[in-house]
Amino acid sequence: MELVDGVVHLDPSSAVFEAMLLGWARQQRTRFLNEEATIKPRMSLVRRWADFTNQYPWQWQPADGEAFIAHLRSPNRKKPVVLSTGRGYETTLALFMDFITDRRYGWAAECLERFGQTPQQIFHEDNRVAHVAEYEGQPDRRPLTYDEVQALFDAADSRVEEAQNRGRKGALTAMRDSALLKTVYAYGLRRNEARMLDLADLRRAPKRPQYGKHGGLYVRYGKASNGSPPKRRTVFTVKEFDWIVDVLDHWCTEVRPAFSPGKLAALFVTERSSRMSLRGVNMAFTTARDAAGLPPELDLHCLRHSYITHLVEFDYPEKFVSMQVGHSYASTTAIYTGVSDEYRNRVIQRALKDRHPDLWESQ
């Protein structure tokens, strides 16, 4: 309990509500959940819901929760929430209600004594989004085709040439963005994974000495889950993407030193000798995407989808692909995969050839 015994509050309802929020935040911190990415957004959502209902948690009814979600997904809104966002909101609000209705924390008894009402769970199986599909993300987030990847990289390289021809200052930045995008694709990285790479994360591969110090990357800031620390993995350079060796070598030995980063450990740096921001990483992609004339719904994460899809099309084992991208389950990797019709035709032809070798030899 966050309330102080013996204190008479001028506004007891607000005091109890604030104490509930403080207690819930403390509970989440003990689970080592991220303050900025998880706890603060959850607290903000509960306050937003309270403002919408103009009531307190012990007064909320299931109809209030339903009205809130219906309001957020109204077609009259400038940007109605999508299904996955709505599910996240419902889950967050249900977690808060689980906390204040848990008798171990005493809030139900406190509310009954002070206000003559007890809080209840307002989201249940009949008014929450049914989880019937493994993947609820945007369908327009898809892998890029080989031609689209090439067009993206050509556009990024063209920015370098344009800046150099005009003698403009942005040539170094354009070189960095080009190297960054190619690294994201060649190793299937997430946005923050790429941003947080250091020079020390470049790995040699003893079995492939021709790659030098670019035989792989040690990813230290993989996606965390349920309050766990960031997951770590080593992503090996594969032969189909070994063109990245020359890209990284040129970046590390010739371009990066021109930024005068000093003792900064970051692999990708800015003109101010600092690590790139998440926004800067996004801008590198959107600038090249728009210059290449690619669909605006494509984002940086599509390069990760492309990497997974292309590894599958190169016939790498499913387990290897999952390990490369840091997926615990092959089913997660399958969600990211969108193989081409050409690849599926090759699979069918190979299966037919194995089953009917005489027929194929006669042809």
Mean pLDDT, all residues of the chain: 86
Q: Which comes out higher in pLDDT, residue 333 or 142? A: 142
C-alpha to C-alpha distances, 176 to 84, 280, 294, nearest whole angstrom: 34, 11, 21
In terms of C-beta distances under 8 Å and separation of at least 24 residues, what long-range contacts does 104-110 make, across chains too? 105/1, 105/23, 106/1, 107/1, 107/20, 107/23, 110/1, 110/3, 110/16
All residues at 6 or more sequence positions from 142 whose CB lies less than 8 Å from its CB, including other chains: 298, 302, 305, 338
- For residue 110, what are its two tokens? 């406190």
C-alpha to C-alpha distances, 299 to 189, 293, 318, nearest whole angstrom: 13, 13, 25
Residue 96 has pLDDT above 90, yes or no: yes
Alpha-carbon distance 161 to 319, whole Å?
40
Alpha-carbon distance 199 to 243, whole Å?
19
What's the confidence (pLDDT) of residue 342? 58
What's the confidence (pLDDT) of residue 252? 95
Q: Are 121 and 97 in contact (CB under 8 A)?
A: yes
- Which domains, and CATH codes, for the chain? 12-115 (1.10.150), 146-352 (1.10.443.10)
Alpha-carbon distance 222 to 191, whole Å?
10
Q: Which comes out higher in pLDDT, residue 274 or 6? A: 274
Distance of CA 217 to the CA centre of its chain: 19
pTM of the model: 0.71
Residue indicated by tokens 């935040």: 25
In the DSSP assignment, the letter for residue 207 is T
Percent of the chain residues past pLDDT 90, beyond the cut: 60
- For residue 37, what are its two tokens? 């990415």
